[in-house]
């Protein structure tokens, strides 16, 4: 039995006479970051070893030695005793070298009918599948917080904006449920990414398949994949699963960023719509009055990283010929960072929102500012007086101009002033100029009326949280 393997070159046998240049080692080694794949790598190797023995490619005794060795390595890594060596390039060679060091000859048989190309593709798919499941659970928890808030604020009015100009009054619950829909689509994107990516590359070997009588169905099944990948060249070349994850993550990060931006804006003294929990804000070392929404700002800012990692991997892959190229090793750091970032932002957003308190009086006062019920006035002329909408729009615009001249709100115009604008503007119109009336009237499907919002809350619980409903 030979001594411990000191470099990847020894594993390759006699082909290389010289050592890797130190700079080669630095540019080539990935173990510094791909050690995160250790659990997936062990899982894949266990499945491979069992299959090799079942097909008579290695003996049962070798299989047992391999499985025991892999278990021992798992303990070494868990307990921080494993030495990751950059000379052994990546996590795959580090584990294989250690296995051989521990169990000798049998360790050298594990790599039969396998290449690092199908091995790394398998490990990465397993890892991404875990990341998808974590994102899904965090998104669900965030939706639960939003749905609870939406229920509490189903009838609380606030200004709705377009162009960030006061547009029409809406209910706060309705506004929050908009995000529930966005995060619901994110969950769906992750779920569809999972469906597409849950196929097993193992057994593709370097790129062409293998001459050994392997059982790809068995390894796919043991690893929880739906099926083996159909084409061995595709199996080792494809990184769509990483792109799928990153695109879903980037879109989700953009949604989080938009929500964070609203919280930043709403938390200013000028808006004063929301008070963020102190635990998610910071003070200023010079301005004693400041309470800065740092967590929300960072959620907004970190979306840039997630988007960047998607663009980076697209760029890495765009010129690559089939099959494997080492460029593909560049898939890892960005992917890991995107997942870490997204998971942190999802958790922080849920916690920050959970502790946020809305200033309902401020929201109500702001809801009517900027003549937000001008559309209601026009709609009243259409409904009650049979005025064509375009003409009614013009009359309402004149009423707004009059109110602006007087520096008052629409419902503060005198009867005579209204009549002077148009004789059909009878005092009864005043009824529709209040913000509560306005939101209560918007009962169309998907509209902002409190009755609709309460229905939407119940529907969202059934659709997204699997609660109640039928």
Residues 126, 142, 328, 456: which binds ligand ARG (CB under 6 A)?
328
Site membership for ligand ARG, residue 30 (CB under 6 A): yes
CA proximity to 196, closest of 263, 242, 261: 242
Stretch that binds ligand ARG, among 58-66, 113-121, 248-256, 291-299 (CB under 6 A): 113-121
Q: Give kind and range of the element (H or E) at residue 4.
A: none
Least distance from ligand ARG to the Cβ atom of residue 330, Å: 8
d(CA 66, CA 70): 6
Q: Which of 329/438 has CB closer to ligand ARG?
A: 329
Residues 57, 66, 120, 432: which binds ligand ARG (CB under 6 A)?
120
d(CA 279, CA 125): 37
Q: Which of 328/453 has CB closer to ligand ARG?
A: 328
- Which of the residues 70 through 99 are near ligand ARG (CB under 6 A)? 90
Q: Which of 2, 59, 192, 284 is catalytic?
A: 284
Q: Which of 33/161 has CB closer to ligand ARG?
A: 33
Stretch that binds ligand ARG, among 69-77, 133-141, 324-332, 375-383 (CB under 6 A): 324-332
Q: Are 374 and 410 in contact (CB under 8 A)?
A: yes
Q: Which of 322/420 has CB closer to ligand ARG?
A: 322
Q: Which of 11/397 has CB closer to ligand ARG?
A: 11
Provide the 3-class DSSP secondary structure of residue 203: coil
d(CA 170, CA 441): 11
Q: Which of 127/183 has CB closer to ligand ARG?
A: 127
Q: Are 33 and 332 in contact (CB under 8 A)?
A: yes
Least distance from ligand ARG to the Cβ atom of residue 29, Å: 9
Residues 43, 109, 114, 116: which binds ligand ARG (CB under 6 A)?
116
Instruction: Please report the beta strands in 59-195, taking only residues with DSSP state E, as ranges in sequence order.
Output: 157-162, 165-171
- Which of the residues 216 through 245 are near ligand ARG (CB under 6 A)? none
Least distance from ligand ARG to the Cβ atom of residue 102, Å: 22
Structure tokens at 329: 């090793």
Number of CB atoms found within 10 A of residue 98's CB: 24
Residues 5, 7, 94, 117: which binds ligand ARG (CB under 6 A)?
117
Q: Are 196 and 265 in contact (CB under 8 A)?
A: no
Provide the 3-class DSSP secondary structure of residue 213: coil
Structure tokens at 441: 């009237």
CA proximity to 49, closest of 113, 110, 93, 94: 110
Q: Which of 163, 211, 285, 444 is catalytic?
A: 163
HEC string of 360-409 equals HHHHHHHHHCCCCCHHHHHHHHHHHHCCCHHHHHHHHHHHHHHHHHHCCC
d(CA 306, CA 299): 11
Structure tokens at 41: 């790598």
Site membership for ligand ARG, residue 182 (CB under 6 A): no
Supply the angle between the helices 38-54 and 116-152 in degrees, to the nearest 10: 130
Annotation marks residue 393 as catalytic: no
Residues 281, 329, 372, 373: which binds ligand ARG (CB under 6 A)?
329
Annotation marks residue 92 as catalytic: no
| x-marked contacts with ligand ARG along 336-365 as a string, rule CB under 6 A | ------------------------------
Place of tokens 């003294």: 269
Least distance from ligand ARG to the Cβ atom of residue 159, Å: 51
Site membership for ligand ARG, residue 114 (CB under 6 A): no
Stretch that binds ligand ARG, among 112-120, 212-220, 338-346, 348-356 (CB under 6 A): 112-120
Residues forming contacts to ligand ARG in the complex (CB under 6 A) are 30, 34, 90, 116-117, 120, 324, 328-329
Active-site residue numbers?
Answer: 163, 284
């Amino acid at each position: 039995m030979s001594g411990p393997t000191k470099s990847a070159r020894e594993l390759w046998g006699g082909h290389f006479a010289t050592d890797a240049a130190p700079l080669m080692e630095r540019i080539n080694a990935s173990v510094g970051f791909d050690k995160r794949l250790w659990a997936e790598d062990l899982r894949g190797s266990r499945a491979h070893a069992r299959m090799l023995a079942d097909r008579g490619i290695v003996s049962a005794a070798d299989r047992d030695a391999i499985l025991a060795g892999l278990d021992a390595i798992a303990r070494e890594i868990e307990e921080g005793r494993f030495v990751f060596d950059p000379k052994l390039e990546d996590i795959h060679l580090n584990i294989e070298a250690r296995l051989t060091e521990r169990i000798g000859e049998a360790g050298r048989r594990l790599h039969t009918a396998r290449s690092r190309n199908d091995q790394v593709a398998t490990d990465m798919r397993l890892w991404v599948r875990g990341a998808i499941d974590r994102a899904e659970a965090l998104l669900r928890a965030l939706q639960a917080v939003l749905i609870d808030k939406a229920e509490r604020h189903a009838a609380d009015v606030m200004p709705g904006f377009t162009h960030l100009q006061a547009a029409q009054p809406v209910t706060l619950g309705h506004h929050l449920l908009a995000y529930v829909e966005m995060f619901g689509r994110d969950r769906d994107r992750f779920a569809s990414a999972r469906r597409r990516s849950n196929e097993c590359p193992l057994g593709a070997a370097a790129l062409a398949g293998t001459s050994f009588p392997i059982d790809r169905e068995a390894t796919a099944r043991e690893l929880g994949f739906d099926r083996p990948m159909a084409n061995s060249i595709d199996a080792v070349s494809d990184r769509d699963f990483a792109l799928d994850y990153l695109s879903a993550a980037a879109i989700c990060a953009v949604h989080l960023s938009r929500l964070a931006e609203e919280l930043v804006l709403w938390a200013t003294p000028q808006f004063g719509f929301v008070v963020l929990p102190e635990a998610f804000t910071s003070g200023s070392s010079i301005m004693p009055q400041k309470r800065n929404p740092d967590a929300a700002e960072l959620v907004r800012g970190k979306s840039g990283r997630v988007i960047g990692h998607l663009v980076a991997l697209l760029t890495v892959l765009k010129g690559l010929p089939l099959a494997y190229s080492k460029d593909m090793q560049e898939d890892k750091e960005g992917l890991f960072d995107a997942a870490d970032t997204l998971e942190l932002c999802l958790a922080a957003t849920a916690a920050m929102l959970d502790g946020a308190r809305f200033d309902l009086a401020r929201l109500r006062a702001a809801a009517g500012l900027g003549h937000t019920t001008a559309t209601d006035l026009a709609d009243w002329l259409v409904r009650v007086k049979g005025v064509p909408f375009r003409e009614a729009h013009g009359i309402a615009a004149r009423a707004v101009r009059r109110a602006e001249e007087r520096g008052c709100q629409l419902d503060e115009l005198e009867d005579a002033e209204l009549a002077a604008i148009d004789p059909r503007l009878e005092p009864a119109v005043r009824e529709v100029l209040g913000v509560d009336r306005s939101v209560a009237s918007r009962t169309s499907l998907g509209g902002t009326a409190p009755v609709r919002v309460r229905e939407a809350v119940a529907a969202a619980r059934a659709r997204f949280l699997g609660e109640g409903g039928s």
